Amino acid sequence: KRLIFIGPPGSGKGTQSPIVKDEYCLCHLSTGDMLRAAVASKTPLGLKAKEAMDKGALVTDELVVGIIDEAMNKPKCQKGFILDGFPRTVAQAEKLDEMLKKRGTGIDKVLNFAIDDSVLEERITGRWIHPSSGRSYHTKFAPPKTPGVDDITGEPLIQRKDDNAEVLRSRLAAFHSQTEPVIDYYAKKSVLTNIKAEKPPKEVTSEVQKALS
Ligand code: ADP
Ligand code: ADP
Ligand code: ADP
């Protein structure tokens, strides 16, 4: 399967992706995770992306398209993929179409994690991440067994620098102006399914599974 998960920051894309990835043996390509890894290891790409990420703006289309093009060539992505956080502009969606056409494939399904802005601040400010795997927890909604510690590896959890109320406002503004048109783009191609992302995590998982079955 070749899938896209679209939704505002905190809508649950990163929480649902590993479940779907394991069920269908897909690779999970999160441009946010890949960019943060590049920033942390101070690669040339990371240095270019950091400023925009810190203020909650989008990085250039060129940067993320390059990352995705490279990642899709990996052996583990040949059975299919989940694109999480990409495409975020119509220009990125058009580039993706070109990339897939070149490979003789296309997108099977786009899930739109629909949710009201008002619930996102609590989700984002309570989010804790295990950086190397991208696993996310929430102090209230999905607490780790031990506060501040990853359940699986025992390694420390961190809070993302951009997960605060102020930067969230910029990220939401970017979502509404630049990413919402991408939802229309896929609706017109009849590959879009809306997911009620405000429900509890397990109910969201059932909706996602129903949409993909
Ligand atoms: P995204 O990847 O879309 O930015 P995440 O999956 O990281 O969002 O979720 C944001 C935060 O909200 C995380 O702390 C996560 O544990 C929590 N969360 C995810 N899904 C739900 C849900 N359905 N209900 C409540 N909290 C959720
Ligand atoms: P969230 O999980 O909260 O939705 P992400 O982790 O996907 O956020 O993205 C974090 C930051 O990385 C964004 O604010 C943006 O600066 C950058 N970014 C990630 N994906 C893209 C993309 N496809 N296009 C442009 N910028 C991106
Ligand atoms: P998974 O096994 O969950 O799919 P991976 O650790 O293989 O996750 O990483 C997913 C994507 O993130 C890969 O496509 C990889 O290119 C990218 N990635 C992982 N670590 C780094 C890193 N340190 N720098 C840049 N990209 C990275």
pLDDT attached to residue 36: 94
Residue 185 domain-assigned?
yes
Does 123 qualify as catalytic in the annotation? no
Q: Which tokens hold the place of 38?
A: 């590049």
Atom of ligand 1 nearest to the CA of 198: 23
Residue 140 domain-assigned?
no
Residue 138 domain-assigned?
no
Residue 137 domain-assigned?
no
**Identified catalytic residue from 13, 50, 95, 123:** 13
Residue 129 domain-assigned?
no
- Provide the domain count of the chain: 1
What is the rounded CA–CA span in Å between residue 140 and residue 163?
15
Distance from residue 41's CA to the centre of ligand 2 (Å): 17
Residue 63: domain span: 2-118+165-212
What is the rounded CA–CA span in Å between residue 9 and residue 85?
9
Residues of the chain with pLDDT under 70: none
Q: Which of 23, 27, 129 to mutate to test the pocket of ligand 3 (most atoms within 8 A of CB)?
A: 27
Does 88 qualify as catalytic in the annotation? yes
Residue 41 near ligand 3, beta carbon < 6 Å: yes
Residue 147 domain-assigned?
no
Atom of ligand 1 nearest to the CA of 7: 3
Residue 155 domain-assigned?
no
pLDDT attached to residue 134: 87
Residue 187 domain-assigned?
yes
**pLDDT per position as a tens digit, 35-53:** 999 999 999 999 999 999 9
Does 103 qualify as catalytic in the annotation? no
**Identified catalytic residue from 36, 88, 95, 135:** 88
Distance from residue 140's CA to the centre of ligand 2 (Å): 24
pLDDT attached to residue 68: 96
Question: What ipTM was predicted for this assembly?
Answer: 0.87
CATH number at residue 6: 3.40.50.300
pTM summary value: 0.90
